[in-house]
Chain A
Amino acid sequence: MSRAYAMNDWYAVADAQTLARGARRTMLLDQDVTVSGTPDAPKVIDDAGRTYPAQFKYGHVWTCLGDAPRSLFDIPEAAEQGRRLVPCGVVRVKCSPLRAVENFLDIAHFPFVHTGILGSEPHTEVAPYKAEIRDEVDEVWATKISFYQPQAAKSAQAGGDTDYQYRVAAPTSAVLYKTCPPKPEAMDVIAIFVQPRSETECDVWPWMALYDDTSDFAGLVQFQQEIFLQDRSILENQRPVKLPLDPKMEIPTRADLTSIAYRRWLKSKGAFYGALTEDA
């Protein structure tokens, strides 16, 4: 187990709703911690009473267990006027946190796993798109993605081609930008903040920043939860449980450019928590 890289990243460990219910005892990177306080003054401590840095951003309490925290990535859209910020609760998944992120970056599974919502046969083709590691920001980006979706969002009235962009801002945090059905000139933002409980179990906190004034809050959350529960049935049945970084272990195709870039990026950084490396 290599926690070295992971220790200095920030992780979502609670949302405001959780905090309002009282202290949340949870696990992060194989360590027990307790999250308490309020959004204005969140607090994270371990069983020995040691306090860790905590901040409230994007609807969640973030913490870092390491001695040299990197800065928490920025999601500029969170500050844009008119967006509804929607924390979607938490989904526990028995899988590697990295597999959860990789699945989030994948569109080719939509027709089979999210049938009738995010995809449907015979619209299975993944057109060429661009995936790259952006060294200047140390992120993975996938752009120029377009895919036919029967119901791209809660607010979608009919099927249509949806444009996507993906941004991997940290090994366990990813943001997607997709066509906003009621506001075609803008893009909806959906993120997943993955809390690695261990290398083989995670809590996934989806979060959205949408232009949708009509859907009720519960409906938006329910739509997203349904999607993630469908993903869970895949994520808990992948073997090996950890994400293999050796390209020989799992055979990709052109549609997997984002996944290939993500795995390569993790490997180059030494972000091995939840990964299966060649010498493992």
Chain B
Amino acid sequence: MLTAPVGLLRDLDPKRVMRAQVGGQDLVIWRASNGDISAWDNRCPHRGMALSHGFVRGNELACLYHGWHYGSSGVCRYIPAHPELEPPATITTTVFSVLIADGVIWVNTEGAATPAPVPIASQPLRSFHVEIQSEGLARACLTVAFEGVAPEQIAPGLYQLGARQVLLLENPLDGGRIQITALTDADAKPVDCAALSRWCDAVRRAAQTKRVAA
């Protein structure tokens, strides 16, 4: 399994929790108050509750069901039903390798995360989901003009849009959906980014409309 992009760091503030999926593995991704990021199996080892419904207290993630706390290492630190108890070290979540590069959160569920090289000097653009297969997405990208100009594909996932470039990083999900994490040139201004973000929306709509028509 390759290291997969699961979203932008800037969309996950400290103390926030989100759900993701890599290669069919359901994940909880969360940031401690100190900014540290973790990616785990989305399951509390106590009673199987999805930890993505949980909440961050300090530098620990608490399960919504019984409030069990887990530290960044995945080890259970606190069981509210027994405040005096030192939880056994055997109670631990399944921890995966996670890394931040180019403002993107990268996860590998089978080994050490090694982010794919990003071929442009980039800044984060946005993250979105499309209900389509990878080939369909590439076709849709070429059909949606950007400011009157037809896009051109330079490399897999990399599109020339007028003077700008957009890189679409794909993460295939269940049910024929793809999660896209989009980057653009480092020197793109906010107004450019807003326009490029609208192009992403148009691509998503075009891709899904075609799918329905087909």
> Which residues, 223 to 253 on A, are CB-close (under 8 Å) to B?
233-234, 237-240, 244, 250-253
Proximity string of chain A (141-153) to chain B, C-beta cutoff 8 Å, 1 when within and 0 when not: 0000000000000
Are A250's CB and B81's CB within 8 A? no
Given contacts A125-B82, A239-B26, A255-B81, contact A113 B46 (CB under 8 A): no
When chains A and B are docked, how far (Å) is the Cα of A254 from the Cα of B66?
13
Contacts of B53 in A (CB 8 A): 233, 237
**B2 beta carbon closer than 8 Å to chain A:** no
Are A111's CB and B48's CB within 8 A? no
Are A126's CB and B46's CB within 8 A? no
A217 to chain B, nearest CB (A): 31
Interface residues on A, range: 20 to 34
Contacts of A253 in B (CB 8 A): 46, 79, 81-82, 85
**B83 beta carbon closer than 8 Å to chain A:** yes
Are B50's CB and A250's CB within 8 A? no
Are A124's CB and B80's CB within 8 A? yes
Are B48's CB and A240's CB within 8 A? yes
Given contacts A124-B81, A253-B81, A254-B81, contact A112 B65 (CB under 8 A): yes
Query: Residues of B within 8 Å of A, CB-based: how many?
Result: 22
**B194 beta carbon closer than 8 Å to chain A:** no
**B45 beta carbon closer than 8 Å to chain A:** yes
Output the nearest chain B residue to A253 by Cβ-Cβ distance.
B79
Given contacts A250-B45, A250-B47, contact A234 B81 (CB under 8 A): no
Proximity string of chain B (52-72) to chain A, C-beta cutoff 8 Å, 1 when within and 0 when not: 010000000000111100000
Given contacts A109-B66, A251-B91, contact A238 B82 (CB under 8 A): no
B47 to chain A, nearest CB (A): 6
When chains A and B are docked, how far (Å) is the Cα of A267 from the Cα of B65?
24
Given contacts A124-B81, A239-B26, contact A112 B66 (CB under 8 A): yes
When chains A and B are docked, how far (Å) is the Cα of A126 from the Cα of B26?
31
Proximity string of chain A (96-137) to chain B, C-beta cutoff 8 Å, 1 when within and 0 when not: 000000000010110111000000010011100000000000
When chains A and B are docked, how far (Å) is the Cα of A238 from the Cα of B65?
10
When chains A and B are docked, how far (Å) is the Cα of A111 from the Cα of B67?
9
Contacts of A121 in B (CB 8 A): 67, 80
Are B48's CB and A250's CB within 8 A? yes
Choice from A109, A238, A251 contacting B45 with Cβ under 8 Å: A251
Given contacts A238-B49, A251-B46, contact A125 B64 (CB under 8 A): no
Contacts of A252 in B (CB 8 A): 46
Contacts of B85 in A (CB 8 A): 253-254
Q: Of residues B45, B65, B79, B90, which shows the largest number of chain A Cβ atoms within 10 Å of its Cβ?
A: B65
When chains A and B are docked, how far (Å) is the Cα of A139 from the Cα of B48?
25
Output the nearest chain A residue to B84 by Cβ-Cβ distance.
A125
Contacts of A238 in B (CB 8 A): 47-50
Output the nearest chain B residue to A237 by Cβ-Cβ distance.
B50
Are A126's CB and B81's CB within 8 A? yes
**B43 beta carbon closer than 8 Å to chain A:** yes
Contacts of B66 in A (CB 8 A): 106, 108-109, 112, 255
Are A125's CB and B43's CB within 8 A? no
Are A234's CB and B91's CB within 8 A? no
Are A113's CB and B64's CB within 8 A? yes
Are A109's CB and B65's CB within 8 A? yes
When chains A and B are docked, how far (Å) is the Cα of A234 from the Cα of B49?
7
Are B65's CB and A125's CB within 8 A? no
When chains A and B are docked, how far (Å) is the Cα of A121 from the Cα of B69?
14
Are B83's CB and A124's CB within 8 A? yes
Are B80's CB and A108's CB within 8 A? yes
Contacts of A234 in B (CB 8 A): 49, 64-65
When chains A and B are docked, how far (Å) is the Cα of A259 from the Cα of B53?
22
Are B46's CB and A250's CB within 8 A? yes
Are B82's CB and A254's CB within 8 A? yes
Output the nearest chain A residue to B43 by Cβ-Cβ distance.
A239
When chains A and B are docked, how far (Å) is the Cα of A109 from the Cα of B81?
9
Cross-chain pairs A/B with CB under 8 angstroms, 18 sampled: A112-B64, A112-B65, A112-B66, A112-B67, A113-B64, A121-B80, A125-B83, A126-B82, A237-B50, A239-B43, A239-B48, A240-B48, A250-B45, A250-B48, A251-B46, A253-B82, A253-B85, A254-B82
Q: Known pairs A124-B81, A233-B53, A250-B47. 9 more at Cβ < 8 A? A: A112-B65, A112-B67, A124-B67, A124-B83, A125-B82, A126-B82, A251-B91, A254-B85, A255-B66
